[in-house]
Amino acid sequence: MKPAVNVSEKNLIKYSFEVEGGNFDTAGTVSTRIKSILKESGLPSDVVRKSAIVSYEAEINVVSYAKKGFINLSVTPTAVEIEVNDEGPGIPDIEQAMEQGYSTAGQHIREMGFGAGMGLYNIKSYSDRFDISSEVDKGTVLKMIILLPHS
């Protein structure tokens, strides 16, 4: 994993991490890092947990299907925002990809314990706002927002 760029301004948290496609040895390191950053910043544990789940699933998808990607993390006064964009094959039918159990994962990915077809479904379930867009042969962009409880 390349070092994160911390472009923090004032008391807002902003990071960008690069994810290497195909490298299962380092898969999960970015989401682990995100989890500890959010935990250390004192956010409520359920916000940290949801953010860790959605970033983990998105990171594994970049490793499984794309060439490379970036995970951008921001914490605003009202939410954790996680954007994941990749350079990869894209998703031809997003509605189908979102279905529970739908997976195109090959044997290699399944042997790693992935490929249940639950990742995107879980990302959507754990996010307060979720947006996905994709272009075939270009890549995919996911945007997840997890709201902070009102103070």
Ligand X SMILES: Nc1ncnc2c1ncn2[C@@H]1O[C@H](COP(=O)(O)OP(=O)(O)OP(=O)(O)O)[C@@H](O)[C@H]1O
Shortest separation between residue 122's beta carbon and Mg ion, angstroms: 9
Please choose which of Mg ion, ligand X, none residue 127 contacts, taking the beta carbon within 5 to 8 angstroms, the exact cut-off set by kind: none
Residue of this chain nearest to ligand X (CB atom) = 119
Query: Cβ closer to Mg ion: 11 or 107?
Result: 107
With binding defined as CB under 5 A, does residue 31 bind Mg ion? no
Q: Please name the residues in contact with 103: beta carbons below 8 A apart, sequence gap of 6 or more.
A: 115, 116, 117
Helices (H), the chain: 29-40, 45-65, 94-98, 107-111, 119-126
Going by their DSSP bridges, the two strands 68-75 and 79-87 should be labelled as antiparallel
Instruction: Using CB under 6 A, pick the residue from 1, 4, 79, 105 that binds ligand X.
Output: 105
Sequence letter at residue 7: V
CB of 81 to Mg ion, least distance (A): 20
Does residue 34 bind ligand X (CB under 6 A)? Answer: no
Q: Which residue has the tokens 């998703």?
A: 91
Kindly identify the residues of this chain, within the stretch 109-128, that bind Mg ion according to CB under 5 A. 119
Helices of type H across 41-127: 45-65, 94-98, 107-111, 119-126
The residues that touch ligand X, with contacts defined as CB under 6 A, are: 57, 61-62, 64-66, 86, 88-91, 97, 102-105, 114-121, 140
